Chains A and B, each alone.
Chain A
């Protein structure tokens, strides 16, 4: 069965600092991987996705993620964090098609001035 681990429940970074959110997955074949962001009181918005091809994926709002098969990881990065990035971030994995997508437990990002 597929699974996702986000080891960091809560992360605090200073505005302007770089950010890396960790995501490890378990899946037998090449997975479909996603990062979503949820602002307080809102639904989830897709930041980026990986299906195949280039392992470095660019997303919206200046985010990127790198798929590393050898490490079963899909970490999210941003070179310079803005106060508006404070939110909860979810990594998700699925086999594609109409199969179920499994979400991680989320990482809450706090940005301090």
Chain B
């Protein structure tokens, strides 16, 4: 099992550009989520999904879109990047009440 994989590991964007952060898991987990991590803020939930075709907003959803067409994949889209979106992004998955498994993260810089 590869677990949770994320691509790319690093990305630099200019303000206004768009991009998609990829996340995939091979554990057949129903629940997937995206967090951003900023110094002193811990992890904040952006969006989550409880199954294919079902997504919902977390604490900080503005500026981000998600979709869940398959159980395995949960991409995060930035439609028009802003410097405030400079952060480290983590994808996670879990099955029901079990613990979450985290990907290695994507470090995004928006200039």
Contacts and interface: CB of A to CB of B under 8 A. Distances in A.
Contact of A43 (B44, B48, B96, B102): B102
The residue in A9, A34, A42, A98 that gathers the most chain B C-beta atoms within 10 A of its C-beta is A98
A9 B40 CA distance: 8
A44 B90 contact: yes
Main secondary structure of the interface of B (DSSP, over half): strand
Interface residues of A, number: 22
Contact of A104 (B33, B42, B48): B42
Contacts, number: 48
B13 interface: no
Interface residues of B, number: 24
Contacts of A9: 40
Contact of B99 (A46, A97, A100): A46
Given A42-B104, A43-B105, A98-B30, A105 B90 contact: no
B31 A98 contact: yes
Contacts of A103: 35, 42-44
Interface of A: 9, 32, 34, 36, 42-46, 49, 51, 90, 96-98, 100-106
Interface of B: 4, 30-31, 33, 35, 40-45, 48, 50, 58, 90, 92, 96-97, 99-100, 102-105
